[in-house]
Amino acid sequence: MKELEELIIPEDLRYTNDHEWAKADGDLIVCGVSDYAQDQLGDIVYVELPQIGDELEQGGQFGTVESVKAVAELYSPVSGEVVEINTTLEDSPQLVNQDPYGNGWMIKIKAKDPGQLEGLMDAQQYKELLKGM
């Protein structure tokens, strides 16, 4: 397990209490799991993602991540429609461990209310949350 100071927590992302990250990409929101989440899970062996066109509610479950240690549910950082999924994760789920903020992204959502993104934690607030864990 990484120490808090070893974790990568990009300043330009927003974070949920459930350790998902989100960022605006044009009119879409890209999301995945944080470095903390992938570190806690260990080696990820399977990722189950929603279908394109699925409607998500902020805080609602959108999939699962299975590791050698556990199965964890994934929660949507914003409400909206799934417009793209990272199909590469079907054959290469380890990308979530290797590059959680890059090639390990999970879904892109067309947000109903892009303002929900601003309601999520910034990097500093997320670091404070992690200090208490």
| C-alpha distance from residue 130 to each of 49, 83, 109, 127 (Å) | 26, 31, 26, 5
Give the SS3 label for residue 15.
Answer: strand
Tens place of pLDDT for every residue, the chain, 133 residues?
Answer: 899 999 999 999 999 999 999 999 999 999 999 999 999 999 999 999 999 999 999 999 999 999 999 999 999 999 999 999 999 999 999 999 999 999 999 999 999 998 999 999 999 999 999 998 8
- Position 107 scores a pLDDT of 98
Q: Does domain 12-113 have CATH number 2.40.50.100?
A: yes
At 53 the pLDDT is 98
* Of residues 58, 32, 53, 51, the one with CA closest to residue 117: 58
Other CB atoms within a 10 A radius of the CB of residue 21 amount to: 28
Q: What is the pTM (predicted TM-score) of this model?
A: 0.96
